[in-house]
Structure 1
Amino acid sequence: MSYVIGVDIGTSGTKALVITAEGELVGQATVEYPLHHPQPGWAEQDAEDWWRATCQAIQKARQAAGIKAEEVKGVGLSGQMHGSVLIDREGKVVRPPILWCDTRTTEACRYIEEKVGVTQLLQATGNPALEGFTAPKLVWLAQNEPESLEKAATVFLPKDYINYRLTGEIVTEMSDAAGSLLFNVAAGDWAEDVVDKLGLPSYILPPVKHSWEAIGEITPAAAAATGLLPGIPVAGGGADNACGAVGAGVVEPGQALSSIGSSGVILAPLASPAVSPDGKLHLFNHAAPDRWYLMGVMLAAGLSYQWFRRELGHLEVQQAEAGGRSPYQLMDKAAASVPAGAGGVIFLPYLNGERTPHADANARGVFFGISSAHRRAHLIRAVMEGITYGLRDSVVLMREAGQAIKSLRAIGGGAKSPLWLQMQADIMQAVVEVPRIDEGPAFGAGLLAAVAAGIYKDITEAVKATVKIRTSYEPDAGLAAIYDRTYEIYRDLYPALRPLFARARTAVAGVGQ
């Protein structure tokens, strides 16, 4: 029998799935690793942690599936976007990769706007200068660690570095390159004029392939490390959101994706590139042929829920350990005991700043409307609702841009909670569908591997054969009306607090956390 392996290089860990040619999930494993914060607002990881986790996850997933190495016909990777992985001429990592959630590059963004021009940058790359993208990281390095940039022979995105370790090939692909702010999304190649104006060395930018192409084969060294056979084709892979959309079957215009992982994403495919005039929505290349997508991003979606569990959810953690359950199930149960609207408590999920619709690195999380009558359950529900309001911001922008979003495919941690799925349907006022296999990015990477291995002729055929809907949630008109009223207050809070966010960050600068 034939199998493929899909791997997702995430922020909290790496997941590997073993998938049959028919799209059945038969084995999986996740290996976690830390996120490092050398200074407030900084976020880095060790690229060697990614490699070790990839090798271990592939081995464990294959063992869980109970299959032989020779039955694996292809490998595909997805990965967190925007991270900068510099390697030297010997293939060694120059410095710890700077991640998508790092906000040290505010001044570098202003420099990019000055050198390229705000409108010119948006037209060339489909995106504004934001802290999370790759180009500001490279500018920051040029200005603050020039020795690191001087040592660099290549800059990879995270999953491209792992592809390099698997195949020895120096290559990227369009969906991830599109998140660099150095890529012309319409032309499908590097934006040389942007690179030149920023004074960055063009030789560090790798060749660009398609997501579904076989970019190389497993080397003997990688085979020894992963337990796979040498010679297995490796697909170009894709950015986590593009692969998540492929894995959920969201590849055609008129469809949309809702993903609540560490970050939160609303994604809508396009048949042709259409730049958001104000830059509030991102425009990227899809991992499917001749497709692009609009995307809105929250920096701390599931991360906000994880933060609550870690800092304020000790009771649920203890009960979960005693009862063999997930603390998130207990948090959901508490949230369900509170009516829609959380008793007037509203949560702003800006723990790490925000991207859509407020590109503001200074923004921070807020609980608004707390009284002595409120319980922890109100706060839990407010966090879930606040995250979903943030996603609705992106849906509103897309509808205003002409995208008729009547249904969404839900993936990620938020898709495992029936309460949260119904909440999404009510707040977005759209049908929410849950794929039978909701392991979006890794599953999508597996489908790319299946195309690269020749199991399917193209992405469309792979999606039609493998992606099925497990269940769906219809919006409740009565609850939608309640959420509408609360959402209006949510929308008014950010502009009211914006000047205070900047003052608060300045007030404690240099004090530490």
Structure 2
Amino acid sequence: MGRWLIGIDVGTSGTKTLLVDDEGRVVARAYREYPLETPRPGWAEQDPAAWYRAAVEGVREVIRQSGLAPADVAGIGLSGQMHGSVFLDRSGDVVRPPLLWCDTRTAEEVRELNRTVGRERMIRLAGSPAMEGFTSPKVLWLRRYEPENFGRVDVLLLPKDYVRYRLTGEKSTEVSDAAGTGLFDVERMDWSTDLVESVGLRHDQLPPVLGSADVAGRLTESAAAETGLPPGVPVVAGGADNACGAVGAGVVRAGRALVSIGTSGVVLCHAPEPRRDEGGRVHTFNHAVPGAWYLMGVMLAAGLSLRWVREELGHLERMAAELTGADAYDLLAREAERSPAGARGLWFLPYLNGERTPHADPHARGVWFGLSSAHRREDLIRAVLEGVAYGLKDSLEILRSLGMEIEALRALGGGARSPLWRQILADVLQVPIARLNVDEGPGYGAALLAGVGSGVWADVAEAADATVRVTDRVEPQEGLRLRYEAGYAMFRSLYQALRPLFREAARRSE
């Protein structure tokens, strides 16, 4: 068997598949989309069969693109969206469409868990308070509203684990994804009896928990026929999307951290021990690196804020992009460059869909503040870029308050490709922002885990060190430090002043 690796990332919008060689070069990539079902407002469900079809098609596509002999594939790794609930019956069939991480129907179940288990105890055991997106309140919801389906549940899996089950016939999970369920003791690295029983499950309804680079099974005859690969290819356990993203960015040692601007925004740092935020503002989860954890703050509308601007205000940029082939986001950034630091006294609160870190406030909403007739479109756009940076600074300051030493951040995601946005991040956060030689997201980390499990590299740190390197750094501009410190203070004050009005606006919109 060869030394080529496949990484499969089961995302919310689609599945990305990468073919990577043993030096970390991406040889081929494929992407397959699938729908997100919203049968009611606030609900989010998907068909797990669509995940599997997308994975199978993606594997066939990267093999076709590369011209590689299928027998040269050494291993497969999987990453996936966290917190989803895939309920299987005794026959291995899906009981009902999974509730996804972005499903918010479980507000009452979250209140129940934080009341019965206790919010502080939830944080101590699970590394985070109960939240609507997590798995445990989804189980409570099923028990309460669909008791017949609840009675059929034989095992609970997470999205990527379901795809791996279809590939191997083996039902299991691994530490980094289990950590995001709200049922896992992140310090003991095992299912918590108290948390499992709090939602009415039995231990035998939860799968075995493996290490992220452990071989979880091998490709079955039927899956081999569907993918075009030979039977018996090792399939490693893989990891949650954020854990795999960290592996793929080389955040596998103490002192390393990343900032990601995708649809959401993330500040994540490697932690050699499970430090927790007593307020539950950031999450403490198990890493895909054995015996390690990561601390993570999440904002809900990072790149989404600029996407909203592109769709609603960027008509000229979109037209120019269609005519010239340029990227509409690049054109928006060029316009924002004409606005000075501070956007001429304009602030943007990037809370389009509520906010997680640090406010855990579903009622918060987006705001431009300080708008006058002197402002231009470039100021509106720059204020959005700065507002997202201020929101990410909230997470960074919390991580530092917990004793995490963060001297630089590795930048990932579509937003990090903008030189202007990277400079704004460096200036607002007052840390160097580093770019990497590869920015393929969680699928790349999944491929590296496959390499460890199949013997290409000895461990996760060796895999990351062999493949991921910093290519350039943006340094903070000292002359802007005081301006952005004052701007950040104003940003924080604006949320506190508007918080009661957000709640009143939500009440009036019901």
Bin the TM-score by the shorter chain: over 0.9
Partner of 1:31, secondary structure, is strand
Deviates more, 1:45-54 or 1:273-282: 45-54
Judge which range, 59-68 or 348-357, deviates more: 59-68
| Correspondence for 1:240 | 241
| TM-score with structure 2 setting the length | 0.96
Moved more, 489-498 or 373-382: 373-382
* Separation of aligned partners in 2, 1:141 and 1:191: 20
- Please say which of residues 360-369 and 275-284 is displaced more in the overlay: 360-369
Deviation at 1:168, TM superposition (A): 1.4
CA contact (8 A) 1:81 1:158 kept: yes
| Distance of 2:46 and 2:327 partners within structure 1 | 27
- What's 1:418 paired with? 419
Deviations 1:111-154 (A, max 9, x none): 00121112222111111111111111111222222233222222
**Aligned equivalent of 1:429:** 430
Sequence identity percentage: 54
CA contact (8 A) 1:18 1:25 kept: yes
Residue 347 of structure 1 corresponds to 348
* 1:335-369 residue CA offsets vs partner (Å, 9 max, x unmatched): 22222222222222222221110111222222222
Aligned residue pair count: 509
Deviates more, 1:225-234 or 1:168-177: 225-234
1:81-130 deviation per Cα after TM superposition (whole angstroms, max 9, x unaligned): 11112222222222222222222222111100121112222111111111
CA contact (8 A) 2:353 2:365 kept: yes
Distance 2:31 2:73 in 1: 19
- 2-side partners of 1:61 and 1:309: how far apart? 32
Residue 460 of structure 1: aligned partner: 461
Does residue 167 of the first structure (1) align with residue 130 of the second (2)? no
1:92 aligns with 2:70: no
Q: 1:50 to 1:369 in 2, by over 3 A?
A: farther
CA contact (8 A) 1:78 1:238 kept: yes
Return the alpha-carbon distance in structure 1 between the equivalents of residues 321 and 94 of structure 2.
40
Comparing 489-498 with 140-149, greater Cα deviation is found at: 140-149
Write the distance in 2 (CA, Å) between the matches of 1:377 and 1:44.
38
Aligned to 1:398: 399
1:73 maps to which residue? 74
Asked if 1:297 is matched to 2:298, the reply is yes
Q: Does 1:362 align with 2:363?
A: yes
- Structure 2 match to 1:39: 40
Q: Is the 8 A contact 1:115 1:198 kept in 2?
A: no
More displaced stretch, 288-297 vs 113-122: 113-122
Q: Tell me the SS of whatever aligns to 1:363.
A: coil
- The alpha-carbon deviation at position 376 of structure 1 amounts to 2.8
Aligned to 2:443: 442
* Conservation of the 8 A alpha-carbon contact between 1:353 and 1:360: yes
Asked whether the equivalents of residues 248 and 448 of structure 2 are also in contact (C-alpha less than 8 Å), the reply is: yes
**Cα-to-partner distance string for 1:213-236 (whole Å, 9 max, x where unaligned):** 010111222223223222111111
Q: Deviations over 1:410-449 (max 9, x none)?
A: 1111222111111111111101111100113111111000
What code does the residue aligned with 1:28 have?
A: R
Change beyond 3 A, Cα 1:367–1:446: same
How far does residue 458 in structure 1 lie from its aligned partner after superposition?
Answer: 0.8
Q: How much does 1:211 deviate?
A: 0.2
* 2:490 alignment partner in structure 1: 489
How far does residue 172 in structure 1 lie from its aligned partner after superposition?
0.4
Write the distance in 2 (CA, Å) between the matches of 1:15 and 1:481.
42
Q: Is the 8 A contact 2:137 2:199 kept in 1?
A: no
C-alpha distance in 2 between matches for 1:301 and 1:62: 34
Once the two structures are superposed, what CA deviation does each residue of 1:318-350 show, in whole Å capped at 9, x if it has no partner? 221211122222222222222222222222222
For residues 387-409 of structure 1, what are the alpha-carbon distances to aligned partners after superposition, in whole Å with 9 as ceiling and x for unaligned?
Answer: 22111101001111111211011
* Distance (Å, rounded) in 2 between the aligned partners of 1:307 and 1:50: 27
Letter of the 1:411 counterpart: L
CA distance in 1, matches of 2:507, 2:496: 18
User: Do the aligned partners of residues 196 and 220 (structure 1) sit closer, same or farther apart at CA in structure 2, a change above 3 Å counting?
Assistant: same
CA apart distance, 1:169: 1.0
Q: Which residue of 2 aligns with 1:218?
A: 219
The Cα shift of 1:465 comes to 1.1
Q: Give the gaps of 5 or more residues in structure 1.
A: none
Distance (Å, rounded) in 2 between the aligned partners of 1:246 and 1:21? 16
How far the C-alpha of 1:57 sits from its partner, in A, is 2.2
Answer whether contact 2:139 2:199 (CA < 8 A) is retained: no
What corresponds to 2:148 in structure 1? 147
Gap change, CA 1:318 and 1:220, over 3 Å in 2? farther
Deviates more, 1:181-190 or 1:374-383: 374-383
- The amino acid that maps onto 1:283 is T
Unpaired stretches in structure 2, ≥5 consecutive residues? none
* Equivalent position amino acid for 2:391 in 1: G
Q: CA deviation at 1:189?
A: 0.4
Q: CA deviation at 1:450?
A: 0.2
Aligned to 1:383: 384
What corresponds to 1:156 in structure 2? Answer: 157
Distance 1:164 1:452 in 2: 17
User: In 1, distance between residues paired with 2:380 and 2:33?
Assistant: 28
